[in-house]
Amino acid sequence: MNPFPYIEACFKRPASHTPVWIMRQAGRYMPQYQKVRGEVDFLTLCKTPDLATEVTLLPIDLIGVDAAILFSDILIPLEPMGISVTFEDKVGPILSAVRDEASIKALRTIEAGEDTGFVMEAIRMIRRELEGRVPLIGFSGSPFTLATYAVEGGTTKSFHNIKGLIYSRPELADYLMDLLADVVINYLNAQIDAGAQAVQIFDTWGGILAEPEYVRFSLKPVKKIVANLKRDGIPVIYYLNNGSYLAHHMEGLDVDAIGIDWRQDLRESRRTFGKQKAVQGNLDPTVLFASPEEIRRRAHSLMDEAGPETGHIFNLGHGILPQTPMENAIALVEAVHEYRP
């Protein structure tokens, strides 16, 4: 069997072409996704393995990406910890906020195979349906990113509850991050056991912290996670949003690939931590609102920046936006695949 270009690139081995996938590739920009969502709410979709499978496969069949990513959400493992999670259209997630010592200490660790059995069932089903066409990526939020939702109780602009916890009760915040690290270890290892062929840790909000707080409350628990995953043959990717000022910490993080957002210079990343690790990224998602010609031009110029060395995985710098024309996502994948240096 031919090796998967995505897996080869993650391990910085030569690949037949630069692989491409798109963060949030199965989502609202697709009429086919909207159709499924018209019938069930988002959480039901996540918790129904055959529907999650159907949606996971859409971008493989319709966009031509080189990897599938499990259709789920980072907030799924918070529920069995004892936090209620709902999603409201046009609002986003709403959670029972845990802000004081009593509610944080009441949180439970999880047994992912049972507590989130529907995720593992979806992974097994997706692997069967993929029939080896592309590899399947499993994922989790980083402890700090999960904690922002758990402590804020939803999406926030100011982050004052989570940062307030960090500054007023640092030991309690340490406790929460360590508990979340254990949950993520259990959750990702269960995904690997079920058949995930790579795992990505999303640190969407690590980049809102000042550097010392990032190191203590985000990087440290991520280091604990990557030291405890069943990594044999399974690449581990760490995506850090808005983290240009933290790039010098990436070299010392034992993962196979680093995902970067569009504010970070790709050439510079390849020169620094890209010597030992693959780099994933980093087209600005709003480039997909330009013409197909401009998308192609910018994709190719980014690939020139990545250079000929092994270990570039093409992706956007953050999730694809719901308003994106689907034909432009297709044009992007075609542009990456037709690139010749």
Binding site for ligand CP3 (CB under 6 A): 23-28, 37, 42, 69, 71-75, 87, 92-93, 139, 155, 202, 204, 319
- Six-digit token pair at 187? 């959750």
**12 vs 282, which CB is nearer to ligand CP3?**
282
**28 vs 249, which CB is nearer to ligand CP3?**
28
Amino acid letter, residue 208:
I
- Looking up tokens 């920009």 gives 29
**65 vs 234, which CB is nearer to ligand CP3?**
65
In a 10 Å sphere around its CB, with 0-12 CB exposed, 13-18 middle and 19+ buried, how is residue 17 labelled?
A: middle
User: CA-CA distance, 33 to 144, in Å (whole number)?
Assistant: 29
Shortest Cβ contact with ligand CP3: which residue?
204
Residues serving a catalytic function are 24, 28, 37, 73, 149
Please calculate the CA angle 337-339-341 and round it to the nearest 5 degrees.
145
| Residue 49, SS3 per DSSP | helix
Between the CA of residue 89 and those of 16, 48, 51, 94, what are the distances in Å? 41, 19, 19, 11
CB of 235 to ligand CP3, least distance (A): 16
User: CA-CA distance, 50 to 56, in Å (whole number)?
Assistant: 10
Amino acid letter, residue 220:
K
265, containing H or E segment: none
